[in-house]
Amino acid sequence: MKKLAILAAGALLASSVALFAHHAFSAEYDATKPVKVTGTVKKVEWSNPHIWFYVDVKDESGKVTTWGFSGGPPGMLMRRGITREVLKVGDVVKVEGFRAKDGSNNASGGNVTFANGRKVFAGAAEDVVPQ
Amino acid sequence: MKISASVFSLFAVGLMTATLASGQTRQTIPRTADGKPDFTGVWAGPGFTHRVGPGDTDTPRVSNFDPKNFAPFKPGGEALFMQKETGDVLHDDPTAKCLPDGFPREVLAPYATQILQYPGVVIFLYEYMHFFRVVPTDGRPHPKDVELNFMGDSVGHWEGDTLVVDTIGLREWTLDATTNPATRYHSDALHVIERIQYTDPMTASYRITIDDPKIFTAPWSQDFGMKLHPTWKLYEQVCEENNRCEGGKCADSDAQKSSKE
């Protein structure tokens, strides 16, 4: 039953191109610079106006870079059954988003795929989600 | 529990009106003691997609006005309306700095709205940025001297079962969340009319009319839907709590809380 609920929640999120913007996507992120990384969740900030989560990504040489991703607002996620328990420190995730305009290692949260293939979250802002 | 005869008769009249108006028996909509439709409750407003059926998620969505609804521009109106991006976030999208979205953009935000209704007043509580509108429905007109502000001055009245809210007194500000390649602004002459009506006991139609005589040659309207969510409550939404990345600069100094460990 629990598994079913999780699957349903995942399906809802994955099927959505929803946007949680508190402001315009284009003011912060560059829609021409998609980001796709796989790494380990280092930290989650479950707070308004958007949750932030940080992912440690290791390159071929073993160097670790921390990426910061902006997700939806907590209330919006909770209303849809996504609590802070869904995204935990230590989870291995693939995240697809768009890079911040300032070129820092921050990006819109976009889609998050867990190691078991479960996909949660849809766009962090506006309906700009990597295809 | 005693229900007065007058209240009951008002209720009955309301039911009959609904039946006559639709030509068929309509499901009973909630009504207040004075017989008016009762919009009290938490709603997913225009800032949601209202899918119906299995998988109905009422997905939050930033709604914007559709150019196909626009009336023709006045000479010079388009330049006032479509203001090119300047690189200054205070102009391009002030909400990135947690400044108000203002009315009517607040209505289009993908957050819940709670309506409280009392005799002579309807109160809208907006989850997003904690804004509210207190709309008298006791017949009073707008004040003679209206101070321009973000949410405007609203007065309401009933036309049958339709709640009609008339708003003026809005400072020049962003009209909706459209920012690329230009930010849509309304003028300080904006006059907005909202018409809210139950379509069944759980859903309502929301028609908004944009009357901006400095920009458009005529008023124009757009229709949205609203859906009641008895299980929802408003969540806290403090924009300043952990805001960052405003204007594309993701510096820690933009946030109340450092992103560093």
Interval B169-195: pLDDT, tens: 999 999 999 887 899 999 999 999 999
Decide if B248 and A18 are in contact by the 8 Å CB cutoff. Answer: no
Q: Which of A43-47, B24-28, B205-209 has the highest mean pLDDT?
A: B205-209
Is pLDDT at B148 greater than 60 in this prediction? Answer: yes
The helix/strand/coil state of A27 is helix
- Closest chain B residue to the Cα of A68, Cα to Cα: B259
Looking at residue B57, its pLDDT comes to: 67
Side-by-side strand order, sheet with B203-211: B132-136, B121-126, B112-118, B41-44, B220-228, B203-211, B191-200, B162-168, B153-159
Looking at residue B193, its pLDDT comes to: 98
| B236 contact residues in A (CB cutoff 8 A) | 48, 75
Measure the CA–CA gap between B104 and B222, rounded to whole angstroms.
12
Decide if B248 and A16 are in contact by the 8 Å CB cutoff. Answer: no
Looking at residue B144, its pLDDT comes to: 95
Interval B231-248: pLDDT, tens: 999 999 998 888 877 777
- Closest chain A residue to the Cα of B181, Cα to Cα: A26
Work out whether the CA dihedral A98, B126, B60, B176 comes out positive or negative.
negative
- Residue B257 near residue B73, CB atoms below 8 Å: no
Interval B103-124: pLDDT, tens: 999 999 989 999 999 999 999 9
> Which residue of B57, B89, B239 is in closest CB contact with A80?
B57
Q: How confident is the model at residue B55 (pLDDT cuts 50, 70, 90)?
A: low
- Helix, strand, coil content of chain A in percent (nearest 5): 20, 35, 45
> Which residue of A74, A79, A102 is in closest CB contact with B248?
A102
Interval B64-74: pLDDT, tens: 999 999 999 99
Q: What are the residue ranges in chain A where pLDDT is below 70?
A: 1-24, 80-81, 121-131
Measure the CA–CA gap between B163 and B38, rounded to whole angstroms.
10
**Average pLDDT of B68-89?**
94
Q: How confident is the model at residue B39 (pLDDT cuts 50, 70, 90)?
A: very high
Looking at residue A22, its pLDDT comes to: 59
How much is the ipTM here?
A: 0.71
Tokens for B168? Answer: 């003026």
